[in-house]
Amino acid sequence: MRFDVLTLFPGIFSAVMGESIIGRARESGIIQVNAINIRDFSKDKHKKTDDYPYGGGNGMVMTSQPIYDAYRHVIGDLPYRPRVIYLSPQGACFNQSRAEELKREEHLILLCGHYEGIDERIIEEIVDEEISIGDYVLTGGELAAMVMIDCISRLVPGVLSNEASCVEESHCNGLLEYPQYTRPYEFNGKTVPDVLMSGHHANIENWRRKQSIERTRTKRPDLYRKFMDSNS
Ligand code: ADE
């Protein structure tokens, strides 16, 4: 799967997306993350990428031209048109089921805004959908783009070494994941629950399911209500 990120700050991506699971998936070629510097496409003699808002007001607005040319550069002569997502606090909220849908795309273009926003006409011209990662405002779309890339990539076959871990984790079935334990058996006087030491697989599965349900009820009553509604 390929992600092309249109950004004014490509350096942010090289650090975070070069490490750990995503770094390895990039090295092995399962996923591609390209950060494209919008400024490289500015036709302004000072390489400006923003300007004052028409009608007045605070802050600067990102201009259409460099974004459009960066986008045209990415699509080049591709035989298909990749889906373009604009990261914005005005978008629909990203969640696990959106990630499941988006992992089916071969190629995504993620547009990161900054300042007070970007010229509305570029949104109309190239953007298919706006996505927010939560009801709060970040200084730019870069962190949001990385959240999406991380969350979608780990669902792409081959990115996680143990694919089963993707099936049993929090949010996959509408419930939070059960508690996990590893060695030592005793830590600061606390021991591992007996059932996990029993080797009885059916009992362990049963215990984990009950823990999942109980955790969801106490930690995320909103999810618990949804879960109960869809299972009644
Ligand atoms: N840009 C600024 N805030 C954002 C948010 N909450 N989600 C996505 N992009 C953003």
* Domain residue spans of the chain: 2-153, 170-230
The CA 192 to ligand 1 mean position distance, Å, reads 41
What percent of the chain is predicted at pLDDT more than 70?
Answer: 98
- Quote the CA–CA distance of 42 and 155 in Å, as a whole number: 35
Quick one: 2-153 is in which CATH superfamily?
SPOUT methyltransferase, trefoil knot domain (3.40.1280.10)
pLDDT for position 67: 98
**pLDDT, tens only, 41-93:** 999 999 999 999 999 999 999 999 999 999 999 999 999 999 999 999 999 99
Q: Identify the residues whose C-beta falls under 6 Å from ligand 1.
A: 87-89, 132-134, 136-138, 141, 144
**Where does 170-230 sit in CATH, by number?**
1.10.1270.20
- Residue-wise burial string across 173-194, b where 16 or more C-beta atoms lie within 10 A, e elsewhere: ebbbbbeeeeeeeeeeeeeeee
Q: Is 134 annotated as a binding residue?
A: yes
Is pLDDT above 60 for 187?
A: yes
Q: Is the ipTM of this complex over 0.95?
A: yes
Q: Is 141 annotated as a binding residue?
A: no
The CA 79 to ligand 1 mean position distance, Å, reads 31
Q: Is 159 annotated as a binding residue?
A: no
**pLDDT, tens only, 20-43:** 999 999 999 999 999 999 999 999
pLDDT for position 164: 52
